[in-house]
């Protein structure tokens, strides 16, 4: 076996045999570009995996992490602390919705979701509502890959191989209606009434058994599905009516993806809990977290039945390097006006995406914030194959695309400019012309 043999790494969410037969290897990155192993610049149209919001190797973040590792490589946060996690929490409290001022840290979005679900259940028990144990997700939802996340999630392939999953979970209907909402910009016109599907589950299970509802403000990994106008507000109202916690999974949407700190701000809806990750550190160091309303934290701390209020945590919760990266990322977003740039580029990105309408194989185009989805018609008996071919061809022409089934998802770093947007869609258009 050679030291550079590809066989021993079992790659995640990847067709391993296909990749290892013709690998696409990345050796460095800076700004908007990756460098391939054969020396080519590859325009990053996806911010890595929706996560490199500040662009690659941002000097401020690189310097902060470099200084941190020299100073404090690790400190436990079980019964001990270090200043950076407290500073980060104070900074986030100023930036997040006004009533969400307490933060619990994880290593990923998947862990953030599982943590949020556990916090919701523990909170209900703490306030004497121990029968409220049911968790409600949404069809086509993506909430990471922990057993909690795939249980409340609604993507079939993520669920079907792993048994019965968590008990006491149900799902409201998804909001995707291409017959009425195709080729849309922003929130879609039709479907606000789909929030009322939660009332159906309340009638089925009774509100006294339901702890929380978790949704993505817009569904991301399933193919970029913006919500109907008024849908999130109606969902908030129904949760309030029945004393149910509302969790927004903002692993993708927080930290500027919609031109705002959170999607809660963008849609003007305040949930009870927010999960986040990805853009928190601009992916330089893995980190995620859960933001909770003051009343949740205060209830659990003030009414705990033991000195430890929450029997949950991770070895690397609030890791010093991750905390340093997050603080520097917040500085970079602010000092470089990245959220403003995302706002300004959102319309241009939408125009460029919708200009593809009528191109070969295109079924639908959806845009919201600095995100675009170009949905292709699937080949008979081979869903996802056409998008895979487009992704490979675009790589060969110097653009990295993200695919979800037969959807091409565009979510560039927040520093993107018009010329780079033009280039990623010109390459896409060119590739589509020759794709069968």
Q: How does pLDDT run across 249-263, given as a tens digit for each residue?
A: 999 999 999 999 999
On the question of pLDDT at 1 being above 80, the answer is no
- Per-residue pLDDT at 263: 98
Collect contacts of 421-425 with beta carbons under 8 A, ≥24 apart: 421/345, 421/348, 421/349, 421/352, 422/352, 423/43, 423/399, 424/43, 424/45, 424/352, 424/399, 425/352, 425/353, 425/355, 425/356
Task: Tell me the domain boundaries of the chain.
Answer: 16-54+337-434, 62-335
Tokens of 295: 């009343």
Please state the rounded mean pLDDT for residues 47-75. Answer: 98
On the question of pLDDT at 200 being above 90, the answer is yes
Rounded Cα distance, 70 and 239, in Å: 47
Phi then psi dihedrals of residue 314, to 5 deg: -130, 150
On the question of pLDDT at 213 being above 60, the answer is yes
Instruction: Classify residue 387 as left (phi > 0), alpha (psi -120 to 50) or beta.
Output: alpha
Question: Which of 7, 238, 68 is CA-nearest to residue 136?
Answer: 238
- Per-residue pLDDT at 119: 98
The percent helix, strand, coil of the chain (3-state, each to 5) is 40, 20, 40
Q: Are 411 and 421 in contact (CB under 8 A)?
A: no
DSSP-assigned beta bridge partners for residue 291: 103, 274
pTM: 0.97
Please state the rounded mean pLDDT for residues 216-224. Answer: 95
Going edge to edge, which strands form the sheet with 288-293? 100-106, 288-293, 273-276, 245-249, 210-215, 134-138, 169-172
Q: Has domain 16-54+337-434 been given CATH number 3.40.50.720?
A: no
Radius of gyration of the chain (CA): 22
Question: Which of 195, 336, 334, 215 is CA-nearest to residue 274?
Answer: 215
What CATH number has the domain spanning 62-335?
3.40.640.10
- Per-residue pLDDT at 130: 95
User: For all residues of the chain together, what is the average pLDDT?
Assistant: 97
Length of the chain: 436
> 315-368: per-residue pLDDT in tens?
999 999 999 999 999 999 999 999 999 999 999 999 999 999 999 999 999 999
On the question of pLDDT at 282 being above 80, the answer is yes
- Per-residue pLDDT at 54: 98
CA distances from 387 to 13, 288, 373, 390 (A): 15, 30, 12, 5
- Per-residue pLDDT at 4: 66
Strand duo 100-106 + 184-185: pairing = unpaired
> 2-46: per-residue pLDDT in tens?
556 999 999 999 999 999 999 999 999 999 999 999 999 999 999
Q: Are 145 and 288 in contact (CB under 8 A)?
A: no
């Amino acid at each position: 076996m050679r030291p550079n043999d590809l066989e021993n790494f079992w790659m995640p969410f990847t067709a391993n045999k296909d990749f290892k037969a013709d690998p696409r290897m990345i050796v460095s990155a800076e700004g908007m570009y990756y460098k391939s192993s054969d020396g080519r610049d590859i325009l990053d149209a996806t911010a890595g995996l929706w996560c490199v919001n500040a662009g690659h190797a941002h000097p401020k973040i690189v310097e902060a992490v470099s200084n941190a590792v020299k100073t404090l490589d690790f400190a436990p946060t079980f019964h001990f602390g270090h200043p950076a996690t407290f500073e980060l929490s104070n900074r986030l409290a100023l930036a997040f919705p006004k009533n969400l001022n307490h933060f619990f840290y994880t290593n990923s979005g998947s862990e953030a979701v599982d943590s949020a679900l556990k916090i919701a259940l523990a909170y209900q028990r703490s306030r004497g509502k121990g029968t409220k144990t049911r968790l409600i997700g949404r069809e086509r939802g993506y909430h990471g890959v922990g057993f909690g996340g795939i249980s409340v999630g609604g993507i079939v392939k993520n669920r079907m191989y792993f048994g019965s999953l968590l008990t006491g979970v149900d799902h409201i209907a998804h909001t995707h209606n291409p017959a009425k909402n195709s080729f849309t910009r922003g929130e879609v016109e039709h479907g606000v009434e789909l929030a009322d599907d939660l009332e159906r589950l309340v009638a089925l299970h009774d509100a006294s058994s339901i702890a929380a509802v978790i949704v993505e403000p817009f569904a991301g990994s399933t193919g970029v599905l913006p919500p109907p106008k008024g849908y999130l507000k109606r969902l908030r109202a129904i949760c309030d009516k029945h004393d149910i916690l509302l969790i927004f999974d903002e692993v993708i949407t927080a930290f500027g993806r919609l031109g705002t700190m959170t999607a809660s701000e963008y849609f003007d809806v305040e949930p009870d809990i927010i999960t986040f990750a990805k853009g928190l550190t601009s992916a330089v160091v893995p980190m995620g977290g859960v933001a909770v309303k003051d009343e949740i934290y205060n209830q659990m701390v003030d009414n705990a039945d033991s000195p430890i209020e929450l029997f949950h945590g991770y070895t690397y919760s609030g890791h010093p390097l991750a905390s340093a990266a997050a603080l520097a990322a917040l500085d970079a977003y602010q000092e470089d006006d990245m959220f403003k740039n995302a706002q300004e580029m959102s319309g241009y990105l939408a125009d460029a995406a919708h200009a593809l309408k009528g191109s070969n194989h295109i079924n639908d185009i959806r845009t919201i914030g600095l995100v675009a989805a170009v949905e292709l018609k699937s080949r008979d008996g081979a869903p996802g194959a056409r998008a895979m071919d487009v992704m490979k061809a675009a790589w060969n022409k110097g653009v990295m695309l993200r695919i979800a089934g037969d959807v091409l998802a565009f979510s560039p770093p927040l520093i993107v400019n018009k010329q780079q947007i033009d280039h990623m869609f010109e390459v896409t258009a060119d590739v589509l012309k020759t794709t069968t």
